[in-house]
Amino acid sequence: MARFSDRDLGMHRKITRRDFLDGVAVGAAGLAAAAAFPGAAQAATPAAAGAAAGGPGSPQPPALTGLRGQQPGSFDVAHAVRDGRFEPGRVTDTGESYDLVVVGGGISGLAAAWFYRKAAGRKARILILDALDDFGGHARRNEFQVGRHLLLSNGGTVYMDTPSSWSPQALGLITQDLGVDLPRLLSTVHDDAYGRYGLRSATLFDQERWGRDLLVAREPGESWESYAARMPLGEASRAALVRLYTTKEDFYPGLTDAQKKEILARTPYESYLREKIGMDDDALAVMRRGTNGLWGVNVDRVASADAWAAGQPGFGGLGLEHTPWPGAGFTPLQILKETEQDGYFYFPDGNASIARLLVSRLVPHAFPGREPGWQDIPTARTRYDRLDHPGSTVRVRLSSTVFDVRNEGGGVSVSYSNGGRSLRVRAKGVVMACWNSVSSYVVPELPPEQVAAMRYGAKVPLVYARVALRDWRAFAHARVSRVSTPTMYWNSFGLPTVTGIGDFEMPHSPELPTVVSLSATPNQPGLTCREQHRAGRRALIRTPFEDFEREIRDAMTRALGEHGFDPGRDIAGITVNRWAHGYAYEYNSLDDPAIFEPEERRPYALARRPVGRIAIANSDSQAFAYTHSAIDAAYRAVEHLA
């Protein structure tokens, strides 16, 4: 609930409203353009809404503001198919025939096109279909132009996590095929960009939960005792928080490493925190969302073993060895074990740069001039009007929702909806790089047990908001770079990572513009993980842009208002990236008995069996929400077709 009136929050200011309407207007223009190209001829298909959105004179999709990510309207067809109320009308055969059709233009779909072409040769004809008006799936780019400054941000996928653990195929794609120099990429991040201003992290305690709005910052090197003493908590809650971060107690004396991990795997982290650390409701309220970034649920539904493996606090005295729990082969530690070579492999638009590099190599003329290198990609402009060009061997067709895929006549027919029309293309093979749940509805030949396996997981809903500011003097004045908001809608907000790659340099002095990032993970504590994700998704889909906007302005004003922040004056634009279907579902030892089974018996492994000439990719098919797992899934699917 907002403490300030809409007027105080600047909700009436024209700039944001205009940007938001632009987003809607361009989508509508896309549909209008599509409708203007009726019929089945090849020339009709490039008129997809996405092509129109990035056409000459219109903003590029990454520059659209308002509600983005899985944007309004993008799942209408898919939901109608799911609910059995989709009426395709007459399906027009476009006459197009491809070697490969890929359903889903995220990292997995783009990588599948890449691996296929690598195996089949440059003449292979490939069509990539995606329901959204931009390519990259979760790997999404946000752009703002504030005055003369180009501001970039990751609208979804942040960075390449732990490449030392990647498969040779994933690593080879990034470093050899796309030429990304990982050690040099690491050096483009300015680690100390805010340190020289003396900025700190802080927690905002809000009036509704804590009696008054209070921003408490932690000084560098400050002890937990001193930090907690300034929080609006009772003695016992403070002591528990201090204990959480400093404990050296072994709560399971006499047990072996494996026995301790066995207990932790079956104990919700919240139970551990209450029973072993002695945390009460107030102490828990301050840190209960610490697990959301990785799993989308609070401490109530994360296994203590996973919390420990991911570096959450409270396990300092257990003396656990950094090896996986032998009872389940599926902890983050096992798969993402950092080595000295690892670090923050971050592009200014996150892994959208990977998607853009792939498109630049797959689709001729998708970027002007010669193929951009990894250092050129942040400022390279995509020619959206060239993505689906009849003269290209590889084409990307946006705003196209696939509703039927079936083996037919020795090949596969793929039907999709674009701008209200139902169209069909044919292919020798298909890679389903969309989500498992979607495949379960659009591939009618799947046997019932495979359908059930595909619907087992529930993707994690997340929302990443990006707020362009004209300057960040208020942050400098408050001496904070990141504010945790543990009992408000957003989990936290903060200043961006500062990078300089090629001719892109993120501005980073207080009087210059910047992009603030906020994240939230809707869920419903008390349920299983999968039910929490489903409940969170329903809530997310119902939330209008205005509600997100109000919560953004409110949180920032409460924290920074007394340091000079004026939301009406300072905010230049807002993009809310809604990922209702976010992270792939990862199995856990509290909710998924299959975790104790060999991998081939787990639902996600059953779900990825090919059906005739239809192979299954996407990070869902790995049950692992990472860029490299999306690439691994692509490689496996292409091998299935071969």
Query: Which residues of the shown chain bind ligand FAD in the complex (CB under 6 A)?
Result: 78, 103-109, 129-132, 137-139, 156-159, 161, 401-402, 433-435, 438, 442, 462, 464, 579, 582-584, 618-619, 625-627, 630
| Other Cβ atoms within 10 Å of 477 Cβ, number | 14
Task: Find all residues with CB under 8 Å of 494, minimum gap 6, and list them.
Answer: 481, 482, 483, 516, 517
Least distance (Å) between residue 221 CB and ligand FAD = 29
When the beta carbons of 27 and 561 are compared against ligand FAD, the nearer one is 27
Task: Find all residues with CB under 8 Å of 473, minimum gap 6, and list them.
Answer: 510, 511, 564
CA atoms within 13 A on the CB side of 489: 20
When the beta carbons of 320 and 352 are compared against ligand FAD, the nearer one is 352
Least distance (Å) between residue 437 CB and ligand FAD = 9
CB contact at 8 A, 380 and 372: yes
Least distance (Å) between residue 138 CB and ligand FAD = 4
Least distance (Å) between residue 3 CB and ligand FAD = 28
Least distance (Å) between residue 403 CB and ligand FAD = 7
When the beta carbons of 104 and 507 are compared against ligand FAD, the nearer one is 104
Q: What is the largest CA-CA distance in the chain?
A: 75
Least distance (Å) between residue 11 CB and ligand FAD = 26
**CA Rg value for the chain:** 25
Token digits for 311?
Answer: 């570096």
Token digits for 502?
Answer: 């090629």
Measured torsion, CA atoms of residues 471, 474, 476, 482, in degrees rounded to the nearest 10:
-100
Least distance (Å) between residue 83 CB and ligand FAD = 14
When the beta carbons of 401 and 499 are compared against ligand FAD, the nearer one is 401
When the beta carbons of 137 and 290 are compared against ligand FAD, the nearer one is 137
Q: In whole angstroms, give the CA distance from residue 132 to residue 50.
A: 8
Least distance (Å) between residue 112 CB and ligand FAD = 9
Q: How many angstroms separate the Cα of 622 from the Cα of each of 208, 332, 454?
A: 42, 13, 12
When the beta carbons of 332 and 411 are compared against ligand FAD, the nearer one is 332
When the beta carbons of 54 and 582 are compared against ligand FAD, the nearer one is 582
CB contact at 8 A, 533 and 448: no
Give the DSSP H or E segment for 580.
strand 571-583
Q: Could you tell me how many residues make up the chain?
A: 642
When the beta carbons of 158 and 474 are compared against ligand FAD, the nearer one is 158
- Nearest Cα to 298, choosing from 268, 322, 260? 268
